[in-house]
Amino acid sequence: MTQRIEDYALIGDLQTAALVGRDGSIDWLCLPRFDSGACFAALLGDENNGHWRIAPAGARTCARRAYLGDSLVLESVWETRTGTVRVLDFMPHRDRAPDVMRIVEGVTGRVEMSSVLRLRFDYGSVVPWMRRADGHRVAVAGPDSVWLRSEPRVKTWGQQYSTCSSFTVDAGEKVAFCLTWHPSHEPRPPLVDPYMALEHTLEDWKAWAAQCTYEGPYRDAVMRSLVTLKALTYAPTGGMVAAPTTSLPEELGGVRNWDYRYCWLRDSTLTLRALLSAGYLDEAASWRDWLLRAVAGDPADLQIMYGLAGERRLPEAEVPWLRGYGGASPVRIGNAAVQQLQLDVYGEVMDSLALAREVGMPPQRQAWAVQLSLLGFLESTWRQPDEGLWEVRGPRRHFVHSKVMAWVAADRAVRTLERDPSLPGDAARWKAMRDEVHREVCERGYDPVRNTFTQSYGSAELDAAVLMIPRVGFLPPDDPRVVGTVEAVRAELGHRGFIRRYSTDGIAVDGLPGGEGTFLACSFWLADALRMMGREHEARELFERLLEVRNDVGLLAEEYDPVSRRQLGNFPQAFSHVGLVATALALAADDPAG
């Protein structure tokens, strides 16, 4: 049976990540990078598409689970008729090769354990050749090679294209499994001691968490979100994936299934703010540097997303042999939205680099030159329609949010020059652009009859993205048009206390059939807008309701269905966790006790 999305927990090594279910099965893992082919793809198919389950014989689900401290080491506790065991799942920060460690420890009594490993490379389509070597199991297929070993050795055999192990643990006994990937043409990497790896992994996370400067309300939720954001960072480059998964559906059984294992430019502003506000200057600097490398070149060629190292080609394809999560198909790899025109990203990049300069991050010599180039291009293109923030696959429109972010681009350039007049640039021209954009948005993107900004020029539809208007400074939060917009979005896009991105009733703006859940980031934006308007009680009430959506280990997907009470979409989602951090810190700033 398909587990709920929220039944999974995340482990990772800052270069890739795995999802571990409450039943003890790792159902998703791409090696060696986030965007590599999956060797465990049961999440989007079934067990024959690859998984690795360790659990007491005959047991179905663990009694409880939690992360150890502020780490990414997952502890699952199993209670059986004969005793209790705990399983520690983690991936140590990588030296040469990626390792998945699973340590089984007896707590009370004696428990019979079972391990079933099915490796299927290339998203569950390739069955590897298995052999023994030095007492280990080795799986090889094409470019991939995986070694499995246990310490101490346990009884292991092959069965139906799987590797099975059985063993018992008494109280105080431990059995460790280590799964290591390397290119098949290279020799096996040096063996890693799993117990030393556990100790070092906990130390690494403890040292990282100690850098957090936030000690206010909701500290545990904030720290778990920060750990999750760190886990979604590709350490070699500083890029951050939107999520470690692809094609988890926005509607159960639906077709809105996308690949989020790439780096979106628009995440930069919110991510930088979240990291900087919590004291993580190194991560913020790495992300800023990744951003500058990714956008280098002709500003006309700016993309909305890039690969982990700044790759530009991310062709979209369907994977027909995977049935999809809960039957939601198609399963997609790659993302065709990479070719879209989304004018808001220019504003987000400008805002990110302006923020980096404001907080005193070590300057990058080419940063201002990049900003000048981007703004010069935007100056001649902001009047065009685009696909907008939500990457609609319908016709281009004059999306209000895109125009507001064009205003942000000009505004941040003006503010930068006002702080540092020695920089080259024409402040008067950008002020004129800023004023023109502002005037046009207020005239063509605002409905005076309903007292609300709309999704696009001339449209009657609403869009939760316009909740960002007071946050970016386009209008003050007490402006009657902002107040009216917040109320209209809450009334028309609200669903049982949460917020949808836009309406999917009738002929949806995105050109796709079916619907979707409420969008968690948008719900955090509503809380932010309410707080800025002075309605802190309502903001805090909504925020705490959002905290209740998190799963048992503090993780959030992209969306939530308040009717079925199910998380939806790719998981865990950086956008959702960035929203949590930003709202928590903003509420703490208003709290005298914080």
CA 34 – CA 120 distance, rounded (Å): 16
CA 468 – CA 490 distance, rounded (Å): 14
CA 41 – CA 27 distance, rounded (Å): 6
**249 near 330, Cβ under 8 Å?**
no
Determine the average pLDDT of the residues in 360-389: 90
Determine the average pLDDT of the residues in 200-219: 95
Q: Are residues 457 and 364 in the same domain?
A: yes
* pTM of the complete model: 0.96
Strand 305-306 vs strand 263-264: parallel, antiparallel, or unpaired? antiparallel
C-beta neighbour count of 66 within 10 angstroms? 14
Q: Are residues 334 and 417 in the same domain?
A: yes
Q: Which of 184, 208, 232 is the last residue of a domain?
A: 208
Q: Which of 177, 208, 239 is the last residue of a domain?
A: 208
- Condensed to tens digits (0 to 9), the pLDDT of residues 308-355 reads 999 999 999 999 999 999 999 999 999 999 999 999 999 998 998 888
Q: Are residues 184 and 229 in the same domain?
A: no
Q: Which residue did the predictor score with more confidence, 590 or 73?
A: 73
Q: Tell me if residue 115 falls in helix, strand or coil.
A: strand
Q: Are residues 230 and 346 in the same domain?
A: yes
Q: Residue 13 carries which side chain, given as an amino acid letter?
A: D
CA 381 – CA 377 distance, rounded (Å): 7
Chain centroid, CA 299 distance in Å? 26
Determine the average pLDDT of the residues in 20-42: 98
CA 169 – CA 593 distance, rounded (Å): 48
- Tally the domains of the chain: 2
Q: Are residues 287 and 374 in the same domain?
A: yes
CA 299 – CA 455 distance, rounded (Å): 26
- Print the domain residue range for 194: 5-208
Q: Residue 259 carries which side chain, given as an amino acid letter?
A: D
**What was the pLDDT predicted at 259?**
98
Element holding 525 (H helix, E strand)? helix 520-532
Which residues does 516 contact at the CB level (< 8 Å), separation at least 6? 250, 251, 254, 256, 500, 501, 504, 559, 568, 569
Alpha-carbon distances, residue 107 vs 78, 90, 307, 521 (angstroms): 10, 19, 44, 40
Q: Tell me if residue 169 falls in helix, strand or coil.
A: strand
Which residues does 453 contact at the CB level (< 8 Å), separation at least 6? 400, 441, 445, 446, 447, 466, 469, 481, 485
Q: Are residues 177 and 306 in the same domain?
A: no
Region of 360 on the Ramachandran plot (φ > 0 left; ψ -120 to 50 alpha; else beta): left
Mean pLDDT of the chain: 94
**What was the pLDDT predicted at 572?**
98
CA 18 – CA 495 distance, rounded (Å): 32
Strand 25-30 vs strand 38-40: parallel, antiparallel, or unpaired? antiparallel
DSSP states of 64-95: EEEESTTSS-EEEEEE-SSEEEEEEEE-PPPS
Element holding 107 (H helix, E strand)? strand 99-118
Angle at 208 between CA 202 and CA 209, to 5 degrees: 90
User: Number of helices (H) and strands (E), helices first, in the chain?
Assistant: 13, 28
CA 480 – CA 448 distance, rounded (Å): 11
Q: Are residues 178 and 295 in the same domain?
A: no
Determine the average pLDDT of the residues in 238-257: 95
Element holding 482 (H helix, E strand)? helix 480-493
Interhelix angle 574-590/520-532, nearest 10 degrees: 20
Give me the percent of the chain exceeding a pLDDT of 90: 82
**What was the pLDDT predicted at 507?**
59
Task: Answer whether residue 24 shows pLDDT above 60.
Answer: yes
Interhelix angle 536-547/574-590, nearest 10 degrees: 140
Buried b (16+ CB within 10 A) or exposed e, 230-245: bbbbbeebbbbbbbbb
Q: Are residues 233 and 99 in the same domain?
A: no
Task: Answer whether residue 1 shows pLDDT above 80.
Answer: no
CATH of the domain at 275: 1.50.10.10
Q: Are residues 167 and 226 in the same domain?
A: no
CATH of the domain at 113: 2.70.98
Which residues does 298 contact at the CB level (< 8 Å), separation at least 6? none
Task: Answer whether residue 500 shows pLDDT above 70.
Answer: yes
Determine the average pLDDT of the residues in 391-404: 93
Task: Answer whether residue 50 shows pLDDT above 60.
Answer: yes
Q: How is residue 239 written in tokens? A: 């890029």
Determine the average pLDDT of the residues in 298-304: 86
Q: Are residues 255 and 346 in the same domain?
A: yes
Q: Are residues 190 and 253 in the same domain?
A: no
**55 near 63, Cβ under 8 Å?**
no
Q: Residue 504 half-sphere exposure, CB side, CA atoms within 13 Å?
A: 20
Q: Which of 188, 208, 228 is the last residue of a domain?
A: 208
Task: Answer whether residue 534 shows pLDDT above 60.
Answer: yes
Q: Are residues 260 and 388 in the same domain?
A: yes
First to last CA, the chain: 44
DSSP states of 379-416: HHHTTS-B-TTTT-SS--B-BHHHHHHHHHHHHHHHHH
Task: Answer whether residue 594 shows pLDDT above 70.
Answer: no
- Condensed to tens digits (0 to 9), the pLDDT of residues 152-187 reads 989 888 887 899 999 999 999 999 999 999 999 999
